Amino acid sequence: MKILVTGGAGYIGSHILVELYTAGHTAVVVDNLSNSSIEAIKRVEKIVGCKIPFHKLDVRNRAKLYQIFAAEKFDAVIHLAGLKAVGESVAKPLDYYANNIDSTLVLLDAMKHYKVYKLIFSSSATVYGTPEKLPLTEDCQTGVGITNPYGWTKFMIEQILIDVAKANPKMQFTLLRYFNPIGAHPSGTIGEDPNGIPNNLLPYVAQVAVGKLDHVNVFGDDYDTPDGTGVRDYIHVMDLANGHVVALQHMKPGIQIFDLGTGHGVSVLEIIDAFTQASGKKITYKIIERRDGDVAACYASAAKANKQLGWKTARTLEQACQDSWRWQSKNPNGYN
């Protein structure tokens, strides 16, 4: 299949490109590079051994997006383009609503115009807000306890896609709710390259291990979890990427929703320990107060994707930390 990948130069998109080409698909990337580097695409091209068509473009540029749809005849779209920094979304809500929602609306309009019916959307476990139960399943309530505009954009876009699919029975939409993607391609040539000081745990720990940051601040050790620190479902980004390729093979009219996670919860201290083992570096940490908006624990059941897609994660936490360390130690300044 020929796939349009919006946001394909980003962390998850670059890994999806590798999996798409490995499975025999081709892709065209549209990305405005607002949070990524063209170097990521060049490195993916080295891994897959061919050129990947790339357009530096904001998805909201309707006229140019139409031209690309007219020229390419896509079979499907994987829509990853969006802003994703939770704290920034609280400070700049309009930027987040405008970017994430408008880009989806323009994309859906182009798909309708050019009769492209298949879309995979990168949603997030954040739509579950405060988990109704653990492990989370796809039928759990969403929208209760979402604490930030970023999370609301994911919730709202899901609703938009549900409504559009209802109105047009030809549409085949798959919503993938990612848990916590970590790790990197095993080559160590592509990986997560956050701007400034990382907000997420894994890139922060990796930067402490490589000596760029002094210590990890652990946000609270008084949660109702086995060691008191926050528990999450960390999924290797290559497993997540593979989930998209598998989902492409199982598209059908209407809406399908899948959680992509491992099914296992891992604590902050367990992550620090696993990264210490993988890197062989001492990783100092300090317990500080809880971070606003955090929940104690959040992990997927992963049973639905396993049953209906035949997909499950294949890589361990240890591999994810080793791959992340390979990327971080080979590229201490990311793509710069």
In the bound complex, what is the minimum distance in angstroms from residue 133's beta carbon to ligand UD1? 17
Between strands 266-267 and 2-6, the pairing is unpaired
34 binds, among ligand UD1, ligand NAD, none (CB under 5 to 8 A by kind): ligand NAD
13 binds, among ligand NAD, ligand UD1, none (CB under 5 to 8 A by kind): ligand NAD
Between strands 2-6 and 26-31, the pairing is parallel
Residues found near ligand NAD in the complex (CB under 6 A): 6-7, 9-13, 30-36, 58-60, 80-84, 99, 103, 122, 124, 178, 180-181
Q: Which of 159, 160, 121 is nearest to 142 (CA)?
A: 159
**Residues 3, 241 contacting (CB under 8 angstroms):** no
Q: Which residue has the tokens 């653990």?
A: 134
Nearer to ligand NAD among residue 181 and residue 183 (C-beta): 181
Nearer to ligand UD1 among residue 18 and residue 237 (C-beta): 237
Annotated catalytic residue within 117, 150, 204, 234: 150
Q: Name every residue whose Cβ is closer than 8 Å to that of residue 94 and which is 6 or more positions away in sequence.
A: none
175 binds, among ligand UD1, ligand NAD, none (CB under 5 to 8 A by kind): none
218 binds ligand UD1 (CB under 6 A): yes
Query: 110-146 burial by CB neighbour count: b if 16+ within 10 A, else e?
Result: bbeeeebbbbbbbbbbbbbbebeebbbebebebeeeb
Q: Which of 117, 152, 204, 311 binds ligand UD1 (CB under 6 A)?
A: 204
Question: Can 11 be counted among the known catalytic residues?
Answer: no
In the bound complex, what is the minimum distance in angstroms from residue 297's beta carbon to ligand UD1? 8
In the bound complex, what is the minimum distance in angstroms from residue 131's beta carbon to ligand UD1? 11
Q: Which of 100, 126, 207, 313 binds ligand UD1 (CB under 6 A)?
A: 126
Q: Name every residue whose Cβ is closer than 8 Å to that of residue 273 and which is 6 or more positions away in sequence.
A: none
Nearer to ligand UD1 among residue 23 and residue 86 (C-beta): 86
**Residues 201, 271 contacting (CB under 8 angstroms):** yes
Residue 57 and residue 36: Cα distance in Å, rounded?
13
199 binds ligand UD1 (CB under 6 A): yes
Please give the positions annotated as active site: 150
